[in-house]
Amino acid sequence: MLKINFTSRYKFFFIFLVINLLGYKQENNPAGMHPIRIKAKKLQVTNFLLLNKVKKLLKKIFKNTSEYPGIANLFLTPGIKIFEDEGQNKKVKNLFKNQLKPLLAQLNQDKQIKSFYRETYLPAINKLTSDKNNRKLQNLAKDTLKFLRLKPKDINLDIEVFINLLDSYSRGTNYFKKGKKYIFSSLTFKNKISWDTIRHEFLHLILKELNKKRYDDKSIKLPVNKDYAKDDFRTKLDEYLVRAINIIIITGKDKKFKDGWAKSEVKNGFLLMPYFVDKIRDYLVRKERKFDNELVDNLLNSLNEDAEKYPI
């Protein structure tokens, strides 16, 4: 059974507050960072020496500060491979467990951090995750499942959505730990909840739940942009599927808008996006079929057969 709700977990706030204090500064909004993130970066913690120890350890794990959000993976997705090299992954996990995690546990007791969360961060989150927006979240999940011709009972997911004011605008991520799934979503440039981002991450979690196949077909090339270039075939495939479904849902019956968006994804490196959009729309909308493994299998088989029509 599907459950999805907003959360204001202190632990999530704490992870991103720390990496901001230690130099994480990625931002794609020309107008700059969210006001609360600016305040967070200037926060004076009580134990500077402890913070510096954490910084030294992070430098051993990550090449630059832009990679710091990867620390959330260590907390929320223990089994994930952060690096391609297995030896490096093992080394990082040991470093995290034996040194970094104990230091963060100590830093977690800092009164200034807890006060900032209680007096500044939490009130802003509570305002954003009002009853009205919670109803919107429930409707988003319901409408997305309806489009896929699925019912809540078809999906066994318990999802918490965390609105992240301490990351770059229009950024989303999903994490999975044991029975719990998490969606982290920052705001739009207008400081509103990014429903499109939440739906994007929601779709990723649905695909992972519905389709357990690995899909590692070396004969099929799925061109993507540089951010996904090193990912495995299944990850690239899911990104295509999620982006295509989101395009169809957002654009509705506006063919010109839909085609224009698909072409913009081509410029973004997803050269086969028009193909994915057309095939998925045909299956789900015109044929009114339920989203399932058969759709994905047929889509890949057709792509293989029609390779000459979609030269890479």
Residue 181 pairs in a beta bridge with 159, 176
Name residues whose C-beta falls within 8 Å of residue 241's C-beta, 6 or more positions apart in sequence. Answer: 203, 207, 276, 280, 296
pLDDT band at residue 163 using 50, 70 and 90 as cut-offs: very high
Strands 3-7, 158-163: pairing is parallel
Each residue of 47-61: pLDDT tens digit?
A: 788 888 888 888 888
Each residue of 77-95: pLDDT tens digit?
A: 766 666 666 777 777 778 8
Q: Which range among 116-120, 132-136, 264-268 shows the weakest confidence by mean pLDDT?
A: 264-268
DSSP letter at 312 equals -
Please state, in angstroms and rounded to a whole number, the distance separating the CA atoms of residues 159 and 259.
32
Provide the whole-model pTM: 0.89
Task: Tell me the C-alpha to C-alpha distance, in Å, between residue 116 and each of 63, 107, 110.
Answer: 29, 14, 10
Residue 311 has a pLDDT of: 52
Q: From its phi and psi, is residue 12 left (phi > 0), alpha (psi between -120 and 50) or beta?
A: alpha
